Amino acid sequence: MSKKVVEVKTLKEGKYIILDGEASKITSISTSSPGKHGASKARLEAVGVFDNQKRTITKPVDTKVDIPMIDKRTGQVLALMGNEVQIMDLESYETLELPIPNELKDKLGEGTEIEYIEALGNFKIMRTK
């Protein structure tokens, strides 16, 4: 698993964070002002990249959290197999079998170039080129 450790105060909307062992994209951040006896807190809302589940955490802003290293790659569709597609990475030439996202079902065909991401051992097709 490739990940990096950063403080909560450095995170921004649209960036990624690891929540419950899943790579999640931050949708909103709100911070409270520091109280009389404590540090300010940040409330993060995020949506899982691979499972689309909404997750929320509240932590002090100086707490360290893990962020995933997202690897964006390109590939070419080799074969359509029902709800899955077989793709070949255009750099390493390895083949992968990935589920087809609903929004791309009619756009994928053999020979189509796609962009996909890898994070924490999971893969997802993002868009066609």
Record the pTM: 0.81
Give pLDDT tens digits for 98-124.
Answer: 998 888 888 888 888 999 999 988 999
Residues 108 and 51 in one domain: no
Residues 19 and 62 in one domain: yes
Whole domain around residue 104: which residue ranges? 71-128
When divided into structural domains, the chain yields a total of 2
Residues 40 and 84 in one domain: no
Which helix (H) or strand (E) covers residue 98, if one does?
strand 95-99
**How long a stretch of residues is the chain?**
129
Token pair belonging to 96: 């992968």
CB contact at 8 A, 116 and 75? yes
Residues 47 and 97 in one domain: no
Q: How far apart (Å, rounded) are the C-alpha atoms in residues 91 and 43?
A: 39
Give pLDDT tens digits for 17-74.
Answer: 999 989 999 999 999 888 777 789 999 999 999 999 999 999 999 999 999 999 999 9
Task: Pick the last residue of a domain from 50, 68, 86.
Answer: 68
Residues 64 and 75 in one domain: no
pLDDT score at 107: 85
For the chain, counts of helices (H) and of strands (E): 0, 11
